Every structure is written in C-alpha cells, then in structure tokens.
Amino acid sequence: MKTYTLILILLISNGIRAQTKVWFDTDIMIGMPDNRAREVDDGITLIMALKQPEIEIVGISNITYVDYGYDVINKILNWHNKGEVIPVYKGSNLANDTGIENDATRALYKALKKEKLTILALGPMTNIATLVQNHPDIIPQIERVVICAARTPDLTFNPGHGKLNLFDYNYEFDTQSMDVLLNTAVPLEFAGYEPSSYTFIGNIDLASLDMTNEADKWLFDIVQPWMEFNEKLFGIRGFIPFDCSTLGIVTHPEYFTYYEDIPIKVTYKKNDALVVQPDTPSKKFLEVSYDFKTKKKVKYARRALLGFEEKILETLSATR
C-alpha cells in the first residue's frame, strides 16, 4: 500500500495526468477542389491533435462535404496516426437537417454510452445538436463541447490589415443547432476568432517541413493556395489557424486566458460583415458578456498567449 501511494505521489509531482478522451467533429475542407481555395485550419488541427499525448481521439466525424472530408481525414490518419485505429464517420452533409440521424450521430451515441467524452466541435453544430436533441439521456456522458465560435459584443472578425470583416461561420451556418445546445445542460467552452487572432502561420513557419517526405510536401503544397487567397483578401500572405485554438484549450489550457462562467446569448443587430454578406443587413450574433442576464453560462477563451503558436508549428511535420 505504501509503495502504491509513493508511485501515485511521484506521478502527480511529475505532472503526469490521464488522457482526455476526445471525439473530433470537423468540417474539414483542406485541399478540396473548388473555384476558390478552401480553409486549411481543420486539417492542421487534426495533424496537431494526433501528436498530443494529452488526448486520445476515440472517433472522428465530419460535417459538410462529407465524402471529400472522409477521404482527406483518412489520408491524414494514414500519415500521422501512430496509435490505435481511429474510426471515421460521415455526418450531416449540408448542416441544415438538425434532428436527422446519420452515421456520425449514431456512432457518437454508442461511444458516449461506453464512456464520458469531450467533444471537439470545429464546424457547425448540426451533428452535436442532433445527438442531444434526439438522445437527451446521453447528456450526462458529455464532459464538455469545445466549440470554434462566439465573440464578445461588438468584436469584429477582422484579420490581416483590417481590409475585410469576416462572419462567425460555424455559428451562422446553422444557428438552429446552436440554439439547441444553448438550451441544454451540456457544458460549453468557446475558442474562436478572438484567441486565434493572436496566432498566424506564414511561409517561413513551414520551413521546417521536409520536402522529401510525402505528407510534409502535401501539406506545404496544399496550403499555398489558401495563403494566396488570404493575401488577396487581407494584404498579408498567411492565415490564422482558427481551430488550433479550439484544440489548444483542451491540450494546452495554460496558454490561454479566459472568461469563466460568462453568460452567453444570441443578439440581433446590424451586420458588420456586409462586404461578404451584402444581402444580410442585420443578423444574429452569438455573444458573451457579464452584462447579460441569461442563465446559460460558458467558458470563453480570450487570448492565446506567447508560445502557443510554436506549439502548433512544432507538431506539423510527419517526421516529428
């Protein structure tokens, strides 16, 4: 008994902790053929997640463009997953069918029946909302849902040199599903534009990739069109890896500052991204503020601290 206690004390003193078991839900589009470049942050976040000893990914589901996403997820897993096989499931294809079961929601329900999980939600909330709406009995099994969305009041999503405001894609693409989650007891944590705006990946940051390695060369080449697209829009070559912050508050929470137990609600006001949404003069905003009187309270990441960007970069190469 004394030996067991001593071992336990040593483990705690050395900062060794149990892995967080995570379900990874993503609207991954990296490299998708289209008339414009598609965002790459989900793909980079998946690569980063596979290298983190702090978490164990027990399953992956996708949302929107699910056939392409399914293939590219498995491509990344083949290159970067060095552990147990991770199953992949197709979710809602259009993110407009809350309540309709799919392979992803059925698999996530079974996984949660087995054990409690943290859900990392990097896209619209359709899959997650369908799960909790259809199976409220499973809510106690959800440790938390960590989401890439939300803002503080009057914060504009304005990356680069201030040339263009963006909108809160993951929220606005399916506001109905977020309403479902806001009206449950599921613990919610948010890390979206605000903390992510303190991180940036440019060409020089990819210099450590090995161009003789298939996975590294694929990543370098597939990121270039997205960098060029961002340069045209914002005047700076490179991009903010939004979803990495969402993962980061699970794997590296010490690299962020937070608003704890802050009220959240949906507001309706003038659109601040009219250039990209010219036909939407007013719209819903998902906002947090201690001035709100709503019952639902969440954890909200405010800022990524110095050193987190390096944590992203050091995990990208397939040889690391």
- Count of beta carbons in the 10 Å neighbourhood of residue 139: 14
Question: Looking at residue 16, what is its pLDDT?
Answer: 52
Spatial CB neighbours of 212, under 8 Å, sequence gap ≥ 6: none
Question: What are the pLDDT digits (tens) for 62-118?
Answer: 999 999 999 999 999 999 999 999 999 999 999 999 999 999 999 999 999 999 999
What integer is the mean pLDDT of 250-260? 98
69: number of CA atoms within 13 Å, CB side?
Answer: 28
What integer is the mean pLDDT of 247-273? 98
Tell me which of 249 and 8 has the higher pLDDT: 249
Q: From CA 215, how far away is CA 110, in angstroms rounded?
A: 32
* Domain ranges within the chain, ordered by starting residue: 2-313
Question: Looking at residue 36, what is its pLDDT?
Answer: 86
Asked if the model's pLDDT at residue 24 lies above 60, the reply is yes
Q: How far is CA 52 from CA 19, 56, 251, 311, in A?
A: 10, 8, 7, 10
Among 234-238, 239-243, 299-303, the range scoring the smallest mean pLDDT is 234-238
Q: Measured in whole angstroms, how far is the alpha carbon of residue 288 from the centre of its chain?
A: 18
The CATH number given to 2-313 is 3.90.245.10
Question: Looking at residue 162, what is its pLDDT?
Answer: 77
Q: What does the DSSP assignment read for 183-226?
A: TSS--EEE--HHHHTT--B-GGGGTTS-TTSHHHHHHHHHHHHH
Q: From CA 284, how far away is CA 286, in angstroms rounded?
A: 7
The amino acid sitting at 307 is G
Asked if the model's pLDDT at residue 292 lies above 90, the reply is yes
Question: Looking at residue 12, what is its pLDDT?
Answer: 44
Summary mean pLDDT of the chain: 93
